[in-house]
Structure 1
Amino acid sequence: MTGQYPDSWASLRFPNQRAELVFYLRDCCDPHHYLDSDEVHFDVHFFFDDHDFADDPMGMIGAVLFDDVEVAAMTRLVRAYKAAIGPGQRMPDVGHIDWAAVVEAAKAAYALILQRGEPVPVPGG
């Protein structure tokens, strides 16, 4: 993902990961997003496997998130995701899951995260 980051992100260690977070949150706000099992798998990997939003969200402050308010919003999203997909190693059929709580948590997190700006795509990047 190539883009120009807002000046407000200068203190973050990983602004590129915050840019990815903005992208994922934007997609997660759309209820139709969850009809594609591949997209849901990408979300799970991003939020649970590739980053510490589930296991150590406070550790994301200064890296990808700015403060405990953003941590709380991401924690709500992760909890909603966990409740929707349930326990276990296998992903349930995404078409039979009620994603409403996840969508609402994503919308709240997205609105909050955008208060600090969003990346501007670089032409040809």
Structure 2
Amino acid sequence: MNEPGSREAKLELGVELLAHLEREELALPDAVDRIETVTTSPALTRDILDAAEKRGVIERDGARLRIRRGGTYVNYDSQVVRREGEFECRRCGTAISTGHFVNLDAGELGPFGSSCVRKVTGRDGDGG
């Protein structure tokens, strides 16, 4: 993965990831699980949530988030790239031979295993 270098780059990537989730609603811990693929800094995680709320990407309702993206889901055909190699999943830490990378305007996020890329994008239906 091309690690986002600056705090601002990570913030933009985190906000864009939230904007592309395939969920109408998400529990806060599930949103944090996804944001942790960008950063494990609690301060930056809060900043990502605050920026997403200020930009109208999410609405907070206690420990739940409503995603207000307007249909900007990750397109698996054009935005998820598979690469063969020796990788460690950015979400769960498992060794994988096929890495799935999510290409967003703010940058590339990954690698993920096949099930974790679905969790990160919200395609798996967990976290209801």
Per the normalisation by structure 1, the TM-score is 0.28
Which one scores higher on RCO, CA 8 angstroms, separation ≥ 6?
1
Larger radius of gyration: 1
Going by fraction, where is helix more abundant, 1 or 2? 1
Per the normalisation by structure 2, the TM-score is 0.28
Going by fraction, where is strand more abundant, 1 or 2? 2
